[in-house]
Structure 1
Amino acid sequence: MKTFTLILAFFISLFSHICMAQSDQQAISDTLNDYIQGTSFNDQSRIKNAFQSDALLHLQKTDQANWVVKASDYIGWFKEENKGKFNGRIGEILDIDIAGNIATAKVEILVPAKSLRYTDLFLLKKLDKRWQIISKSASSDTSNRNGKRILFIASSAYFHGETQLPAGVSFSEIVIAYHTFKQAGYTVDFVSPDGGALPLAYINTSMPLHKQYLYDSDFMFAIGNSKTPQQINPADYVAVHYLGGTNAMYGVADNQQIQAISMAIYERHGGIISSVCHGTAGIVNLRTQDGQYLVSGKRISGYPEDYENQSKAYFAQFPFLIKQSVELHGGTFLYSPRNTPHVEVDGRIVTGQNYLSSQAVAEQIIQLLEK
C-alpha cells in the first residue's frame, strides 16, 4: 500500500508539473500576443500590459549599434489616435524556452510593404504571478516574406485505430512543402485536432532537408506546438494543405471544425484546398455550401489503397479507403505507377499522390496564388 501511495504521489506531482509548464507557456504566449497585436494595431494598453514598467529595449539605428530605449518611450511610438488601425506589422511566435520563473522567447515581425523582417528576442520573468517582458533585443534584415499564410493540416493520431501500431505524419511531406512555401515567401502554420506536438514518421537524417529542419529550432517549435482548430481564423489563410502519413486516416476527415475551416477558406475567402498522399483522406468528406461533396466532378489524386500492404495489420484499421471514397463521392481518382510523382490540379483543388509529389503540389499552389 505504501509503495502504491508513493507511485500515485509521483504521478500526481508529474502531472501537476506538466500542467504548470503548459499553463506557463500559454501565459507567456498571451504576453507575447499582447506585444504582437499591440504593436500591429497601435494599442498602447496591450503593449504596456506585455512589458514590465522598467523594461529596456536594445535596438539599433544607423549611428548607434546598441540603442537603449525605455519601454515607456517605446510604447509612445504607437500613437493612441491610431488605435485599432493595422500598421503593416505581422507577428509570429517562433520559440519559447522556460526555466523556472524566467523565460526566453523569439518573435518574428514581418513588414511586407517594406520587405523587412525583424527578429525580436525577449527575456521574460514571472512577477506577481504574471509573465512580463523585462528586456527585448531586435535585429532586422530584408525579406521576401509576403505575409500570406498557408495552413498545414495534420492528424494527432499516434497509433492506427485502437491498436498500438505506430502511426505519424510523414516528415518528408512536411519539410518538402514547408521549405517550398518558405522559399517563396509564405508563412506556414500547423493545425491538428488536438493541437500540440505532431506525431512524426519516416524521419531520415541522411536526407539533407530532413536534417536541416530537424535541427531548426523555430521549425521544431512550430510542429511541437500545432494550433487547435479553435485558434484558427480562416480569414488569415490563402490555402490549406492536408499532410499525409498513415495517421492522416484518423481524426481529420470527420473533424467538423477542421472541415468548417477548410471550406471557409475555400468558399468565403477564395482559397485553395490541397493534399498529398494519405492527406487526401482529409478532403473526401468535405462538402460545399450546397451540400455537394467537394471532390464531386473533380480530378483527385492521393495514395490509392491498391498500393497499400493490404495483408498487414495496419490496413485493417483504416476506417475508409481513399480512392474508393473519392469515387463514391463523385470524383475521378487518378494516380501513376508506384513511387512516381503525380499531381492533379482542378480549379482551386491541388492533390498529389505521394511524398515525391510534395514539391510539385506546393509549386502548383504558389502558381495559382500568384496568378
Structure 2
Amino acid sequence: MKNYTCLLLMSFFFYLSNAQSEKEEIYTCLQHYIQGTSYNNIERIAAAFYSDANLYLSGKDNALRVVPSKKYISWFDNDARKGKFNGRIGNIISIDQTNDIATAKVEILIPAKNIRFTDLFLLKKLDGQWKIMSKSATKENSNKQGDRILFIVSNADHYGTSDLYTGNSFSEIVNAYEVFASEGYSIDFVSPDGGPIPVSYINTSIPMYKKYLYNSDFMYALGHTKKPIEIEASNYKAVYYVGGGSAMYGVPTNKEIQKISMHVYEEQGGIISSVCHGTAGIAYLKTKDGKYLVSGKRVNGYPDDYERKDAPYFKEFPFLIKKTIENHGGIFKFSKRNTPHIEVDQRLVTGQNAQSSTAVAKKITELLKKS
C-alpha cells in the first residue's frame, strides 16, 4: 500500500512538473510575440508563429480580414526601428493548455492612442515547440496607460501549523482592485510560492464580489499568482499588502518580497500600502540605512486589541502586528471596530480593516496623480 501511495505521489508531481514546464514554454512563445511586436523584432515574431498561421482581424467596416502570419510579420520589418520600443505594451492574461494544444489571451495596450487590443490565440506543440496557429483580436478604447500595481498575497491556507483554515481577504482584494482598474492601472499578484492562493470572506450576495468571482480573467490571476523571481520591481508604482489571516504567514519575513517592496519605495519613489492584517507584511521592512520603514511613521492595521486572545487561531500568530510595529518605532493608530480608518504618512498608506480597503486604494491613486 505504501509503495502504491508513493507511486501515486510521484506520478502526481511528475504531472504537475510537466504541466508547469509546458506552461513556461507557452509563456516563452507568447513573449516572443509580445516583445517582438513591441520592439519591431521580426525574428522573435517569426519564432512565435507557425509558418502557415493566419490572423483573423477586422478590416474596413468590421469585415473579416484574413492575414497570413508572414504578411503580419512584415508590418514590423523596419531596420531603422528594430529594437526600439514602439509604444505597444503586452501582458498575458491567461493560458489554458491540454496536452499538445492551448489557448491564450493577451492584452496589448497602446497608451498613446488610448487603445486596448484583446488577442486570442490557438497554439499547438509541433516538433517539440509551441507555435501560434491562429490569432484573432478585438479593439476597444481604454484608459489603461501601462502603469502597474502589485498586490502581495499569501499562500498560507492554515493558521500556522494548526488545522484551522484561513485565507486572503477577498473583499480587500476586490475593493482595491476595482478602484485601481477603474483608474486605468494594471494589477499583478505575487505570493511567496506563486500559484493558487486561498481566499476567504466571500459573500456572493454582494454585487462587487459576484462581479469578480465569476470573472474568469480575474480568478485566473488569483490561481496563477507570480513568484517573486518573476517580478520586475521597476514596473510598479505601488505595492498593496492584502489582509486576511493568511497575511501573517510567509509574507512578512520573505526576503524576496521585501526587496521588491523596498525597490518600489526607494528606487521608484513608489508607494507601500497595506490593509488590516496585511500590515504584518510591512512590519519588518527596512530602508537602505537599516532602519525599519515604520520607524517614526503613523501606521494603521488590525490592532492586537481587537483580536480574540483566547481563540485557537490567535495562539498560532507568529507575532503581533501592533506590538511589533511599535517595537520597531512606528506610531500605531486605530479607531473603533468595523469603522474605516486609514493613515497616510508620506508614501506609506495603511488601513485598519476591509472597510478601509477602498479608501486606501483611492488615496494611492490620488498620491500617484500628484507624483
Alpha-carbon distance between aligned partners in 1 of 2:330 and 2:3, rounded to the nearest angstrom: 58
Cα distance, 1:9 vs structure 2: 3.2
1:253 aligns with 2:252: yes
Q: Secondary structure at the match of 2:175?
A: helix
Residues 153-172 of structure 1 aligned to structure 2 (within 5 Å)? 153-172=152-171
Counterpart of 2:35 (choices 28, 34, 37) is 37
Using the alignment, how far apart are the partners of 1:194 and 1:242 within structure 2? 16
Post-superposition shift, 1:126? Answer: 0.8
Query: What is the Cα deviation at residue 328 of structure 1?
Result: 0.8
Q: Does 1:227 pair with 2:218? A: no
Q: Percent identity?
A: 57
Task: Say whether residues 1:61 and 2:71 are aligned partners.
Answer: no
- The 2-side partners of 1:313 and 1:27 are apart by 44
What does residue 178 of structure 1 align with? Answer: 177
Shift of 1:63: 4.2
Shift of 1:370: 0.5
1:230 match: secondary structure: helix
Query: How far apart are 1:64 and its partner, in Å?
Result: 5.2
In 1, distance between residues paired with 2:62 and 2:295? 61
Change (3 A) 1:61 1:158: same
Q: Distance in 2 between matches of 1:115 and 1:12?
A: 49
CA distance in 2, matches of 1:125, 1:80: 30
**2:61 & 2:364 partners in 1: Cα distance?**
43
Q: Which residue of 2 aligns with 1:200?
A: 199
Offset at 1:286?
0.7
TM-score (norm 1): 0.97
Q: Which amino acid is the alignment partner of residue 237 of structure 1? A: Y
2:328 equivalent to 1:329: yes
Aligned to 1:342: 341
Contact between 1:234 and 1:262, CA under 8 Å: does it hold in 2? yes
1:22 aligns with 2:20: yes
Does structure 2 conserve the Cα–Cα contact (< 8 Å) formed by 1:44 and 1:80? no
Partner-residue secondary structure (3-state), 2:104: strand
Q: Is the 8 A contact 1:302 1:354 kept in 2?
A: yes
Q: Could you give the per-residue CA deviations for residues 48-77 of structure 1, whole angstroms, max 9, x where no partner exists?
A: 111111110011132452111111111111
- Partners of 1:224 and 1:80 lie apart in 2 by 41
Partners of 1:210 and 1:63 lie apart in 2 by 38
Which residue identity is paired with 1:61?
A: G
Cα distance in 2, alignment partners of residues 169 and 64 from structure 1: 43
> Where does residue 70 of structure 2 map in the other structure?
72
- For 2:260 and 2:234, how far apart are their aligned partners in 1? 9
Secondary structure at the aligned position of 1:291 is classed as coil
Q: Which amino acid aligns with 1:358?
A: S
Residue identity in the other structure for 2:327: L
Q: TM-score, normalised by structure 2?
A: 0.97
Q: Distance in 1 between matches of 2:65 and 2:212?
A: 33
Q: Distance in 2 between matches of 1:285 and 1:14?
A: 37
Q: What code does the residue aligned with 2:105 have?
A: K
Other structure's SS at 1:146 match: coil
Q: CA deviation at 1:352?
A: 0.2
CA distance in 2, matches of 1:351, 1:331: 12
Of the structure 1 ranges 99-108 and 118-127, higher mean CA displacement relative to structure 2 is found in 99-108
Q: Distance in 2 between matches of 1:368 and 1:37?
A: 31
Counterpart position of 1:316: 315
Secondary structure at 1:69 match in 2? strand
Q: 347-356 or 68-77, which moves further after superposition?
A: 68-77
Paired with 1:235 and 1:19, the residues of 2 have a C-alpha distance of 30
1:265-313 superposed Cα distances (whole Å, 9 cap, x missing partner): 1011110000000000000111111111111111100001111111111
How big is the shift at 1:40?
A: 1.1
Aligned pair count reads 369
1:16 to partner: Cα distance: 2.3
TM-aligned CA deviation for residue 166 of structure 1:
1.1
Shift of 1:81: 3.0
Q: Distance in 2 between matches of 1:6 and 1:279?
A: 42
Deviation at 1:5, TM superposition (A): 4.1
Q: Which runs of 5+ in 1 are unaligned?
A: none
Specify the alignment match of 1:147 in structure 2. Answer: 146
1:52 to 31, 50, 56: 50
Three-state SS of the structure 2 residue aligned to 1:164 is coil
Structure 2 residue ranges without an equivalent (≥5): none
Where does residue 96 of structure 2 map in the other structure?
97
Instruction: Report the equivalent of 2:9.
Output: 11
The CA distance in 1 between the partners of 2:7 and 2:297, in whole Å, is 57
